[in-house]
A and B are shown apart, each in its own frame.
Chain A
């Protein structure tokens, strides 16, 4: 769980520069409807996440991620698999 918290904080820090409307973040916050990100923003953000954690998040996998909580879970899984 402690690791999850660290990943959560790192992820939130990566979201902030793209969080133009200062939407409060919870695990349930949706990228599309909550943060209102378009496909270009998602692309830049995913690249930042991949580089921060040194992981690959394929477009196939991205399609299944809707919320911040789901993303953190995916990152945790991929980091542990390394």
Chain B
């Protein structure tokens, strides 16, 4: 009897990758940063490259105060906790980090997870149980989908960013069943933002609790940098805000903040919180220092928005097709017609000294091939000018733009 090779299900993917690399050039999914010079510059294959594909929106990774806090904690508390948050893995630094989050969001409870992915996994799978409902946007991040799969609730999807569709679907569900509506401030593939005001009003009309993932919104939306919900005047109306330390905060980790009176019980029942090691002391120390600084980083926020608007209008003028009509966030997505053009363009940009993210189906909506650019508050005006020049050159060289 012939036993099935467990890897045979990956054959189609292996074939696609072969085809992609058959034209020569570099593999977009195995780039190595040999040295990182600053939040916006790295050395790849021995050459300096401008980074336009990180989530280092506020450029906090090399902030001297953040690094000093990490070094101090590393020396005083060691390299790792080797334990769960609920047993031996909660140090003074984890509590200090949660205090910083409570201050940042003006909320009563904060829970720090080991990654943003685990924060969504834990919150969604734990909040909604059997016979209850999680209602999610069709374009939700993988961590939201995986949180749904980990739990026992019924999962209902609505059409991306459509308040009417959300309303119709909520209306069909049993009135007395518990419901959790999961939204994201910024959808990271195209960089579009959600019509949160309409959606929050609809969720409340149907007595659903609301979880808002502000992974790509924290740091530079709203007066205090809390996220898209703050920008849209929804402070105090979101039941659970989930976020990450691996974007604007500049390290790694995830969190949820809430005013729910029973929130603390989650520490005992949320499996992705309990059954994993807590963050190393140096990481929570850098996160705390960074969050405290982000609270007052108004100049950086302004400069980031300026960069985003400049890149968007510059690329649009050249004739590139973009994911949004205007610069809605710090992500600007360039839409390419097919994989061949997307890979050629990506490789050309890298040769010319610019790194962006290549995104392809199934990660992208509607089967799109995207070059995703994400701005940093530390990109100087000159760097943005250089970025635009590189895009023009690569666009013409690959035939994406008319020569």
Q: Which residues on B are within 8 Å of A, measured CB to CB?
A: 133, 138, 148, 154-159, 165, 168-169, 172-173, 361-362, 365-367
Q: Can you offer 21 A-B residue contacts whose CB atoms are under 8 A?
A: A38-B362, A39-B362, A40-B366, A40-B367, A47-B157, A47-B158, A47-B159, A50-B172, A51-B168, A54-B172, A55-B172, A56-B154, A56-B156, A56-B169, A56-B172, A56-B173, A58-B133, A58-B154, A58-B155, A58-B156, A60-B155
Q: Specify which of B138, B169, B362, B367 is in contact with A50 (CB 8 Å cutoff).
A: B169
Chain B interface main SS type: mixed
Measured in the bound complex, the distance between the Cα atoms of B362 and A38 in whole Å is: 9
Question: Is A59's beta carbon under 8 Å from chain B?
Answer: yes
Chain A interface main SS type: helix
* Closest CB in chain A relative to B364 CB, distance in Å: 10
Measured in the bound complex, the distance between the Cα atoms of B366 and A40 in whole Å is: 7
Q: Which residues on A are within 8 Å of B, measured CB to CB?
A: 38-40, 43, 46-47, 50-51, 54-56, 58-61
For the complex with contacts A40-B365, A47-B165, A58-B155, 6 further pairs of A-B residues with Cβ separation under 8 Å are A40-B367, A47-B138, A50-B172, A58-B133, A59-B148, A59-B157
Nearest A-chain residue to B154, judged by Cβ: A58
Known: A56-B169, A59-B148. A43 touches B156 (CB 8 A): no
Measured in the bound complex, the distance between the Cα atoms of B365 and A28 in whole Å is: 30
Nearest B-chain residue to A58, judged by Cβ: B154
Measured in the bound complex, the distance between the Cα atoms of B251 and A62 in whole Å is: 38
* Closest CB in chain B relative to A37 CB, distance in Å: 12
Nearest A-chain residue to B136, judged by Cβ: A59
Q: Specify which of A38, A43, A51 is in contact with B157 (CB 8 Å cutoff).
A: A43
Measured in the bound complex, the distance between the Cα atoms of B128 and A60 in whole Å is: 14
Nearest A-chain residue to B160, judged by Cβ: A43
Measured in the bound complex, the distance between the Cα atoms of B165 and A39 in whole Å is: 19
* Closest CB in chain A relative to B266 CB, distance in Å: 23
